[in-house]
Structure 1
């Protein structure tokens, strides 16, 4: 026996009854069609739900991206502002470094000038009128901070910045290259100056009184007592009685005493081979055999012996022969005029 299953395919009638007297609508359809329509409607509804959820998800994503974009824009703007401030700061520091490099150049020029002056002094030559041979660098001169400043604010171009960097780099490079040689030369000059100072301590260069009033020079003169033409073997310096008399150089006191012509006197022999004699003293302070330093008080200025008034008669003896003391003595303040 065979059984055959026949699917039910009944017919259904759908009535649509409007209000009032409007006619009733009848729709007749088979079960399979109605099922297909229901399935189709369910699928459409499901698709709409899926699309709605996707749209909502995309909307949320868009909102999130917009917020992220806004945040990124703010961060970018902040970064740009920071970069601009950093660039301005770097440009300011570059300008400051450029000014400092010019100052270094100026200072090195001053050191070189000082070196030349020290060499000139130690070699016995002075520059006329103390003229500074350095050429002043206007850009390295100190500015008056109390004055007014102004002008337009004109940003530096890239070319200006590059030129400033190159100029500063060149200036610093030159200074660094020259500095070791300059330091070496200055060290040698310092040694020469020390030797020069030591030499000046044993030469009668120190002015022997507080007064600088010269009353009679070395050489021929009319004698103050006889009015006859005579030789004056020293230098007379007027002053007040009792003023200190200083040793003109380091040395040893080889003689002191009194004579009718010299009055109270002190003789000092110096390591240079020179001798100095200080006459007409009111009082001898240094004693024979004493070792004295340049500037030590060896007596008091007076008018003893063959003298017309308070003064110091100083003689410089070289090889047994009197020479002009002004060949050695430095009058206080005279260096400032040179």
Structure 2
């Protein structure tokens, strides 16, 4: 491109000479117009550069914002996942706590039934099977497989489970001190009862539990006449041990044609027990014996048809039925 100035008319001619044989293009313009075009071109170039710089800066800013947005989304998703995991863990702990509260309730029922049983023992009354049966948890695990669809708990069900668990634990905590106090008192009563049972002739006096003749009226085995039988006959083998039915002191021992070898024990309760037809007596007069001590050996001496123990319980000088006191081994388990 060549510029040729013509200062005479202050016009400029612009020649565009292509290579080769192509015609030359001429443009004539005044100086002011040319200057305007040049200024405009420079302005466009500068504007383009500014826009390019701004665009580059904005592009970098957009890339940074996109990276921050992606990072924020990742953090948000991680937070959501963590919260969902925490909620699941809390629900699992809530269900476990609910099961523990049911276990506590079951244990409380067991303790209450134990208390009732101990009271019944100390008062001598029997407990109906319904009152001693411990409530079974309906949701107790059964043998075999389990399955089914996984159905999430609704918000209402979760709130209901929370309320039930809270109420169960609160009730158990409120009841526990009173139950503990009652059990302590029952424990004292049981100890007193055990002491009382040691001075009452409740201990079965032989290894055998075969009763051959009960207390009361019977046909005499020698005369066949109707007579009163003042004791309880327990069949056994000669030489079997005979045990003291209660704590006490031996007040008499000896031999008679009717009793054979015998031992008499006086008990702190005011009762007496007499053990007859012994092969021999072991305890001597004046001895202090404990419930369950061996005081003689079973035999068939005196007025007897075979080896057995005749035991009498005397209350206020009058024989009473020994079965009012003696506990047959295994009888408690059968009740």
Q: TM-score, normalised by structure 1?
A: 0.88
Name the structure 2 match of 1:142: 140
Name the structure 2 match of 1:189: 186
CA contact (8 A) 1:99 1:139 kept: no
Deviation at 1:219, TM superposition (A): 1.6
Name the structure 1 match of 2:308: 311
Could you tell me how far apart the structure 2 residues matched to 1:141 and 1:121 are?
A: 32
Name the structure 2 match of 1:320: 317
Could you tell me how far apart the structure 1 residues matched to 2:178 and 2:281 are?
A: 52
Name the structure 2 match of 1:133: 131
Write the mapping of 1:161-176 to structure 2, written as runs, cut at 5 A: 161-176=158-173
Higher mean C-alpha displacement, 78-87 vs 184-193: 78-87
Deviation at 1:240, TM superposition (A): 1.0
RMSD: 2.4
Could you tell me how far apart the structure 2 residues matched to 1:248 and 1:184 are?
A: 34
Higher mean C-alpha displacement, 264-273 vs 222-231: 222-231
Alignment partner of 1:225 is 2:222: yes
Match of 2:81, SS state, is helix
Match of 2:187, SS state, is helix
Deviation at 1:35, TM superposition (A): 6.2
Name the structure 2 match of 1:199: 196
Match of 1:295, SS state, is coil
Q: TM-score, normalised by structure 2?
A: 0.88
Where do 5+ consecutive residues of structure 2 fail to align? 1-9
Deviation at 1:178, TM superposition (A): 1.3
The superposition leaves residues 85-138 of structure 1 with CA deviations (integer Å, 9 ceiling, x where unpaired) of 2222222222222222222222212222222222222112112xx413267645
CA contact (8 A) 1:103 1:140 kept: no
Match for residue 215 of structure 1 among 212, 219, 223: 212
Alignment partner of 1:25 is 2:26: yes
Match for residue 160 of structure 1 among 157, 162, 178: 157
Q: How many residues align?
A: 326
Match for residue 148 of structure 2 among 145, 151, 164: 151
Match of 1:220, SS state, is strand
Could you tell me how far apart the structure 2 residues matched to 1:137 and 1:160 are?
A: 25
CA contact (8 A) 1:278 1:313 kept: yes
Deviation at 1:149, TM superposition (A): 2.0
Higher mean C-alpha displacement, 39-48 vs 242-251: 39-48
Could you tell me how far apart the structure 2 residues matched to 1:133 and 1:18 are?
A: 121
Match of 2:311, SS state, is strand
Match for residue 276 of structure 1 among 259, 273, 277: 273
Change (3 A) 1:246 1:141: farther
Alignment partner of 1:237 is 2:238: no
